[in-house]
Structure 1
Amino acid sequence: MRTTYLKLALTAFFWGGVFHLAKYSVGHLSPLAIGAWRFLSAGLLLVPLVYWREGLDWAGLRRNALPLLAMAVVGICAFNLALFYGLRWTSPVNGALIMALTPALTVLLSALLNRDAVSRRQLGGLALGLAGVGVVVSHGSLAALLALTFTPGDALVFCGALAMAVYSSIPRRYVHGLTSLQISAATVGLGGVLMGGAAQFLSADFYTLPPTGVIAAIAAMSVFASVLAYMWWNDGIAKLGPAKTAIYFNLVPIFTALIGIALGQPPSGAQLAGTVLVIGGVLMSTRPAPKTVAAHAR
């Protein structure tokens, strides 16, 4: 189980890096072109990998075609396009704060769709995580947090958070008899095909050769933030459930801030305090509940 937790933390790290890579890339290519090339290349890597490791369960894929298609449309296409277009029109601070709503939205959707019980420990971890993200994005200032203004880009990022929550909640109830690898390959591959088809007609720069740095950024997002991240995220959902897995999304803005530090932005006390709160929330939510020992005295 520790390996699962480590993989989810690394997934959050990879997705935290997407904020920086996407912000750089959208200055040279449209978000649709970036998303299309990211997931087309991810699908070309992931589908053969799954075929080599366990084969493709064609019967299971056909049986679950509708929920897998819904996951591809919502969790691959809608999530990434909403995030990338949103980053064009909003600040990283607002984006990080809004994306931090993903775990809360996932817990609510999972409770509604899957009838999952939400424990006090999970709620406490969720509250700690949200508090930590709030401290980071507001630099520890309540006045700064209250003074935040929201733009159309913020609405798009919120749609992205909701899309990821839906993606995480679907498999538990609607996908049956498929491994997490099969689900990852199907949703990433389908998402790449759908975005590539749309880019053919809607993105004038789909066939434009971007600078080498943008190619490297798309490659990194494809391998780390798509192939590995979606494999590990779906594996976490299968093993821990959507509510516990979603808590790790709180680490995304923390890693975004830490990567910014590595790029030359000095750390602040608020960032350090927020990081501690978020990590504490993750540990609280994923720690097994203590077993009750009944005493039998006669």
Structure 2
Amino acid sequence: MRAAHIKMTVATVFLGSYLVASKVILREVPVFTATFVRLVSASLVLAVYVALKPPGRVHPGRRDSTVLLAQALLGVFAFSVFAMYGVKFTGAIEAGVILGMVPISVSLVALVLLKESISSRRGGGIALAVLGALSINVMSARTSAGSPGSHLALGTLLLVCAVLCEAVFMTFGKLLTKPIPPAALSLILSAVGALVFAVPTAIEFDWGMITHISWQTWALMIYTGVAVNGVAAVLMYDSLDTVDTAVAAAFTALTPVIGAVLSIVFLGERLHPYHLTGMALVGIGVFVVATGPNGSDGSQKRVPRRRTLGEPVPAAKRR
């Protein structure tokens, strides 16, 4: 059990570094190009991992192929675009807090799309997390009011869209008729995502830009693919073999905290008291939702493991 906790902690550190790395990358590389490089890097490392630990033959039927395509479009393409542009227009601290609310949004999407019931405990947790995120962004808006180039409201809206895409992605995973091994699923979605990003990247890319991209930025793009979309996903999946998904969900509440610390150290962002208050509210809200009983009958239902590409969330993800 302790080994699983260590794995989840390491995975959370990688996930928390994603927004900080993205903030630095976007100073030199446009969104589609940066995401394409990340997904290609993730696909390569996952392909090696799958080759070393073959999951067996995976043959998704027509229905599952449709679900996987929808997951790739929402959870990989739309999520990446919304998240990257959202990070570009906000601070990494604010972005981390908003994206740390994915477990909250999963409950809301399940309520709307899957008609799942929501307990008063979960409702209270959702209210706390939303209050925390709103307080941070309202105070940040006041602090940055009048600052040139400030687009906090737009960035916040984009990040909320990213959270919703991630939540829909995860709930769609329940529609798969046959389980797909996590590493193989991540490989499929990373590869499909890279193909989807290939066209806009070709339109956006300027060959003259290559000479102006520093080696540090290239290293960060590869890092986000290998560490975040590759290693972190595998570590979280391996942990879910021995711990309940609710425990993994609680660990992801650390993501915005780690992101805030890294933002202060590497980006020079200032941590204000309202950041601490907001993060505490979000962390408590996520913990309440993640550790509460699922369903109106009070029983604990395991959520099928699934991993998203990118950014941060338990409950079985993708990217």
TM category, shorter: 0.7 to 0.9
Greater shift, 40-49 or 198-207, is seen at 198-207
Please name the residue that 2:262 is paired with.
259
> Is the 2:43–2:191 Cα contact (8 Å) retained in structure 1?
yes
> Is the 2:105–2:164 Cα contact (8 Å) retained in structure 1?
yes
State how many pairs are aligned.
289
Distance 2:188 2:125 in 1: 32
Are 1:213 and 2:216 an aligned pair?
A: yes
Distance 1:189 1:112 in 2: 30
Distance 2:2 2:61 in 1: 29
**Cα deviation, residue 142, structure 1:** 11
Please name the residue that 1:183 is paired with.
185
Please name the residue that 1:200 is paired with.
202
1:1-298 pair list within 5 angstroms: 7=7, 10-60=10-60, 64-92=64-92, 95-96=95-96, 98-134=98-134, 150-205=152-207, 208-209=210-211, 210-231=213-234, 250-263=253-266, 267-287=271-291
**Cα deviation, residue 39, structure 1:** 0.5
Q: Helix, strand or coil for the counterpart of 1:176?
A: coil
> Is the 2:15–2:255 Cα contact (8 Å) retained in structure 1?
yes
**Cα deviation, residue 35, structure 1:** 0.3
> Is the 2:106–2:168 Cα contact (8 Å) retained in structure 1?
yes
Question: What percentage of aligned pairs have identical amino acids?
Answer: 21
> Is the 2:83–2:162 Cα contact (8 Å) retained in structure 1?
yes
Q: Helix, strand or coil for the counterpart of 2:60?
A: helix
Distance 1:168 1:49 in 2: 23
**Cα deviation, residue 244, structure 1:** 8.1
Greater shift, 250-259 or 146-155, is seen at 146-155
> Is the 2:46–2:230 Cα contact (8 Å) retained in structure 1?
yes
Greater shift, 279-288 or 18-27, is seen at 279-288
> Is the 2:96–2:260 Cα contact (8 Å) retained in structure 1?
no
Q: TM-score, normalised by structure 2?
A: 0.72
Shift in alpha-carbon separation, 1:4–1:162, aligned structure 2, 3 A: farther
**Cα deviation, residue 36, structure 1:** 0.3
Greater radius of gyration (CA)? 1
> Is the 1:96–1:137 Cα contact (8 Å) retained in structure 2?
no
> Is the 2:12–2:255 Cα contact (8 Å) retained in structure 1?
yes
> Is the 2:104–2:289 Cα contact (8 Å) retained in structure 1?
no
> Is the 1:200–1:206 Cα contact (8 Å) retained in structure 2?
no
> Structure 1 stretches of 5 or more lacking a match?
293-298
Please name the residue that 1:296 is paired with.
none
Paired letter, 1:195: F
> Pairwise CA RMSD of aligned residues?
4.0
Paired letter, 1:193: L
Q: Which has the higher helix share?
A: 1
Paired letter, 1:190: V
